[in-house]
A = this chain, B = another copy of it.
Amino acid sequence: MDAGINTFFEPRGVVLVGARSSPGFGYGIPLVLKSHGWEGRTFLVNPRGGELHGMRLHASLADVPGPVDLAVIIVPAPSVAAVLDQAGAKGIRHAVIESAGFAEIGGDGRALQEAALETARRNGIRVVGPNCVGVINTANKFSTIEVIEEAMVPGRTAVIAQSGVFGTVLLDMLHEHDLTISKAVTLGNRMDLDECDFLDYFRDDPGTSVVMMYLEGAADGRRLRESLLALAPSKPVLVLKSGRTASGKAATASHTASLSGEDEIYQALFRQTGAIRADTIEELVEMTRTFATSPLPKGNRLGIVTSSGSLGVMSTDMAVSSGLVVPELSESSREAIRAGSPAWMNVRNPVDVGPSPMFAAALEALLADDDIDMVLAITVLPYVIFKTVTGKGSSGRNWFGDLGEIRSRFPDKPLVQCAVGHHEFVDRMRRIAGPAVPLFIAPEPAVRSLAAMYQYSKRIKGTGTFIH
């Protein structure tokens, strides 16, 4: 059955039950909706009546005049079932329940959740939550989440987060990594809709190219497998799954009222379905950004150009232990780089250009080389020297080349940058390369992201066993 998920992201009108003038969601969400052009389609309910942010507070849901097909519910847990009945009577078939105090606290909360679910089912209402913060759609600026403005910039990555707080904090970080989103959903206790419903939805969502997901445990392992199998071949799915250990699982149980399965089972599930597992938050964000900005590699041959030999070594270590190879360069690449290089420069892969001005030339040679499938550019310069160089009219672009421009001339291979050192140096390198070249502040995650792309690419082409 089609759950009509799209209504959560594109409601004709939304009613917010539990709007109020004291701090909290009931105060903040109406403001978010109003400031994004939703004032005319947003209706607020509070039995005391009056106004909030210049918008009328309706005494009951039944009084709401406009067409509404989505209810956002923020009232205390014991009142939620009654609100669902009122919403049903109004013809509403979709609800986001943000209220906490349900199964995640056990005992009475569990009973309240069962009653709410029974009421929703009786009324034919599909539910996101409870104990969540709902959804965002950047295309039409619809949001039930109080979030920073930068998170509303439209992009092509969808976010699924089990936890509301974690989902919001993740959205706080993404723009700093040049990652923009299409839609986001936080699932909370998943009393009705779960990650599978949204994975299925994003598979057919033309605005979404990549999906990132945070899970503490699957709502239904078998369905998750089916949803991932269906989605992963066409759109990369990056997953952070916590609750790996027995103690972690115990902590999970009290948090969003789910029990994590055994980690080995998840590991196998992700491997078999082609989902890409990240081990940390940073890795989740960094890998997603790489998938969101890069073409898939044709193979696992990594070319490295670096201004620091040490970082070239570290990158090679990580590449080899991640299933990539760092091959010898072809004679044509060697010749292209050797022309103009100082005698001391050792022309091999990694190409360590040291303090020579050969960085851009070496980078272009690697990108042009048919025997290289992906390229890592390691830009490192002691900050004092960088300041001297840039103080003399050079932007830093002259030193390492215009990475963004080079990227645009060689669009067919993954190219990522690693800049290590002073934060002002790193920021400058980020600006020079632009959002099309993912920037990492350490070599290991840069290489791991490239390795993940290779593994995914191999998997969807069916050319080998998928191991990652």
Residue of B nearest to A252 (CB): B313
Also in contact, A166 and B308, with CB within 8 A (given A173-B422, A350-B251): yes
Q: Is the CB of B382 within 8 A of A169?
A: yes
Cα distance A147–B383 in the bound complex, in angstroms:
7
Residues of B within 8 A of A252 (CB): 309, 313
| Those of A262-305 within 8 Å (CB) of chain B | 279-282
Point out the residues of chain B lying under 8 angstroms from A280, CB to CB. Answer: 314, 442, 444
CB-CB contacts below 8 Å: A146-193 with B: 146-148, 162-163, 165-166, 168-169, 172-173, 176
Given contacts A382-B169, A421-B169, contact A23 B310 (CB under 8 A): no
Top 6 closest pairs, chain A to chain B, by CB: A255-B309, A166-B310, A248-B317, A168-B382, A245-B320, A172-B422
A255 with B312: in contact, given A176-B423, A382-B172 (CB under 8 Å)? yes
Contact B309 A243 (CB under 8 A): no
A383 and B309 contact, CB distance less than 8 A: no
B242, B314, B326, B354: which contacts A317 (Cβ < 8 A)? B242
Residues of B within 8 A of A166 (CB): 308-311, 380
Q: Mark A420-459, 1 if CB is under 8 A from B, else 0.
A: 1111010000000000000001111000000000000000
Measured between C-beta atoms, what is the minimum distance from A279 to chain B in Å? 8
Copy total for this chain: 2
Whether, in the assembled complex, A361 has its beta carbon less than 8 Å from a beta carbon of chain B, the answer is: no
Shortest distance from the beta carbon of A214 to any chain B beta carbon, whole Å: 7
Q: Contact: A308 with B352, CB < 8 Å? A: no
Residue of A252, A307, A441 ringed by the most chain B CB atoms within 10 A: A252
A468 on interface, CB distance cutoff 8 Å: no
Does A105 touch B at the CB level, under 8 Å? yes
Q: A281-B442, A320-B247 are in contact. Are A242 and B313 (CB under 8 A)?
A: yes
A317 touches B421 (CB 8 A): no
Q: Does residue A101 face the partner (Cβ distance < 8 Å to B)?
A: yes
Residues in A212-265 with C-beta less than 8 Å from chain B: 214, 216, 242-248, 250-252, 254-256
Interchain CB contact under 8 A, B148 and A422? yes
Measured CA separation A163–B172 after assembly (Å):
37
Known: A101-B344, A251-B316, A313-B242. A425 touches B172 (CB 8 A): yes
Contacts of A422 in B (CB 8 A): 148, 172-173, 176
Partner of A165 from B100, B148, B380 at Cβ < 8 Å: B380
Is A321 in the interface zone, CB < 8 Å from B? yes
Q: Does A346 contact B (CB under 8 A)?
A: yes
Question: Smallest CB–CB gap between A325 and chain B, Å?
Answer: 8
A422 to B148, CA, bound (A): 9
* Bound Cα distance from A6 to B50, whole angstroms: 78
The reply on A1 being an interface residue by CB < 8 A is: no
The complex places the Cα of A165 from the Cα of B421 at a distance, in Å, of 10
Q: Say which residue of B28, B310, B352, B381 sits within 8 Å of A384 (CB atoms).
A: B28
